[in-house]
Amino acid sequence: MADEATRRVVAELPLLRTNAGPRDRELWVQRLKEEYQALIKYVENNKNADNDWFRLESNKEGTRWFGKCWYIHDLLKYEFALEFDIPVTYPSTAPEIAIPELDGKTAKMYRLWEESQLLVNAAASGVEHGRCCSKHRKAAP
């Protein structure tokens, strides 16, 4: 279950009201607008809290997402590319977020699964809710 800090961050994001995936042509455009609004709000909140840790963009259709994430440890910045595809059955199927540079090194730590938050509230959650929860989730040993 999510801790209090994660719940507080997620509560600040707008709920996604359109239950649509890439197969739902016209509804998907509305869902994608909602996804972008949540993304923008999350980035704004992070910047205001001095917690900026990723950049994310999508292709024109909103089905392929890519960007960079970073982590600063002992004054060293570690930056990685990240990517994921939106499944055709989204939002009832969660996207698998991958960090290709680390793929195959330690699967438990570097393959991020967003199922817990995305599937619990499939229609109301979105990409940014999943990113938010993965940021606050501790890596598996």
Model confidence over 36-89: pLDDT tens digits?
999 999 999 999 999 899 999 999 999 999 999 998 889 999 999 999 999 999
- The Cα 44–Cα 6 span in angstroms is 16
Neighbours of 27 (CB within 10 A): 13
Which pLDDT does position 9 carry in this prediction?
Answer: 86
Model confidence over 27-51: pLDDT tens digits?
999 999 999 999 999 999 999 999 8
pTM beyond 0.75: the answer is no
| Encoded amino acid at 23, one letter | R
Backbone angles phi, psi at 136, to 5 degrees: -90, -5
In the structure, what pLDDT confidence band is assigned to residue 113 with cuts at 50, 70 and 90? very low
